[in-house]
Amino acid sequence: MMTVSVMITQCAIRLYKPTPKNTFWSNIPLSSSSTIYSSTITKPSPRHFSTTRTMSTESGFYSLKAKLPNGNEYDFAELKGKTVLIVNVASQCGFTPQYKGLQSLYEKYKEQNFVILGFPCNQFGGQEPEDDAGIATFCERNHGVTFPLLAKSDVNGDDTNEVYKWLKSQKSGLLGLARIKWNFEKFLVNKEGVVANRWASTTTPEAVGAEVEKIL
């Protein structure tokens, strides 16, 4: 039995001939095969990609600048670690009484690194006709506003200021539309520089306050 098994095995070895495919691969040196593999296959690092994207999102807000009424620039890098509410405001709008509610909100939370920035704008019904000095006087006399007011500027169209270009790119409004619909729309930015929420003009400062408190 053992002799027959050995003979069968030897016959099988003599009958086997490598196919051209086997011959081709057997003649390629190991170093060449390694070179082909390394030159055609790359493996990106998901961890590195994710970190870069997060840094880009955070730095976007803090790299912004806005013009102040005195001509200087307000550097958003000063807002790092703060919760920020940004509102496009107007002096002759049906929502103008919201100034008082915004001021109350500011006074309530300003000691907890909360900031409100007002952006006067005349694009909605011509309801902010005053210049920067007139706007500041109106807000202080009638509503006791002490939170920062930026220079009067556009929030829609070709001349949109860079802050609102960025805000609208981060979160759409009603019906998925990016453009600002009216005065006193509101954007809430968290301590990481990410837009956490956006509200229409009809949302009161009191209603916004409940959401502000959650992320302080």
- The least confident of 28-37, 78-87, 190-199 is 28-37
Mean pLDDT value of segment 132-151: 98
Point out the residues that are catalytic.
Answer: 93
- No. of helices (H) and no. of strands (E), the chain: 8, 6
The answer to whether residues 124 and 94 touch, using CB atoms and an 8 Å cutoff, is: no
Say what the pLDDT of residue 56 is: 39
Q: Please report where in the chains the tokens 């006791």 appear, as a residue.
A: 144
Separation CA 50–CA 48 (nearest Å): 6
CATH of domain 53-215: 3.40.30.10
Domain residue ranges in the chain: 2-40, 53-215
Separation CA 164–CA 119 (nearest Å): 9
pLDDT at 38 over 70: no
pTM (2 d.p.): 0.74
Q: Please report where in the chains the tokens 């307000």 appear, as a residue.
A: 74
Separation CA 24–CA 168 (nearest Å): 60
What is the band of 28 on the pLDDT scale with cuts at 50, 70, 90? very low
Determine phi and psi for 198, rounding to 5 degrees: -140, 135
Separation CA 213–CA 190 (nearest Å): 11
What is the band of 174 on the pLDDT scale with cuts at 50, 70, 90? confident
- Retrieve residue 140's tokens: 């202080």
pLDDT at 43 over 50: no
pLDDT at 46 over 50: no
- The least confident of 10-19, 132-141, 175-184 is 10-19
- Retrieve residue 185's tokens: 């729309």
**The amino acid at 39:** S
What is Dmax (Cα atoms) for the chain? 114
User: What's the mean per-residue pLDDT of the chain?
Assistant: 82
Helix, coil or strand: residue 74? strand
Mean pLDDT value of segment 162-190: 95
- Find all residues with CB under 8 Å of 147, minimum gap 6, and list them: 102, 103, 106, 110, 115, 116, 117, 118
pLDDT at 5 over 50: no
Say what the pLDDT of residue 30 is: 47
Say what the pLDDT of residue 59 is: 53
- Retrieve residue 157's tokens: 């169209």
Predicted confidence (pLDDT) per residue in 69-95, tens digit: 999 999 999 999 999 999 999 999 999
